[in-house]
Amino acid sequence: MKNFFRNITTPIRLTNCLLQGKTDSATVEFSRFLANTLVGVLGFGSPADKHPELASPDAEDLGQTLAVYGFGNGFYVVWPVFGPSTLRDSMGMAGDWFLNPINYIDPAEITYALRVLIE
């Protein structure tokens, strides 16, 4: 399951690599995504781990992208569920939420699809 969720959240890392101008890291992210999706059965497997040229680059997020563009840390805040953060990283978390494909899945549709498959 860990491989699947790492694979499905590739758009977050890929977009932030591109926004930061890290084209080599973006290429690796995209290549890993293709290999793990096509050969690794929708990302449940991770065949890209067996190839050193597809070594997983550093995880990028919107907070880091904002830092590249010169945004300062801002004030320190402790969120009840998310824990400690800075204003910049909190804004980054909110932006990354929109890039996460999992947030666009309706649980009711999944339940319906599973019910149809079972019947």
Q: How far apart are CA 41 and CA 12, in angstroms?
A: 21
CB atoms within 10 A of CB 48: 23
Looking at the predicted structure, is the pLDDT value of residue 79 above 80? Answer: yes
Domain edges within the chain = 2-118
- Structure confidence at residue 33 (pLDDT): 92
Task: Tell me if the pTM is above 0.85.
Answer: no
**Secondary element (H or E) of residue 79:** strand 76-79
Average pLDDT over residues 66-74: 94
Q: What is the tens place of the pLDDT at every residue in 12-66?
A: 999 999 999 999 999 999 999 999 999 888 888 888 888 888 888 788 999 999 9
What confidence tier does 77 reach under pLDDT thresholds 50, 70, 90?
very high
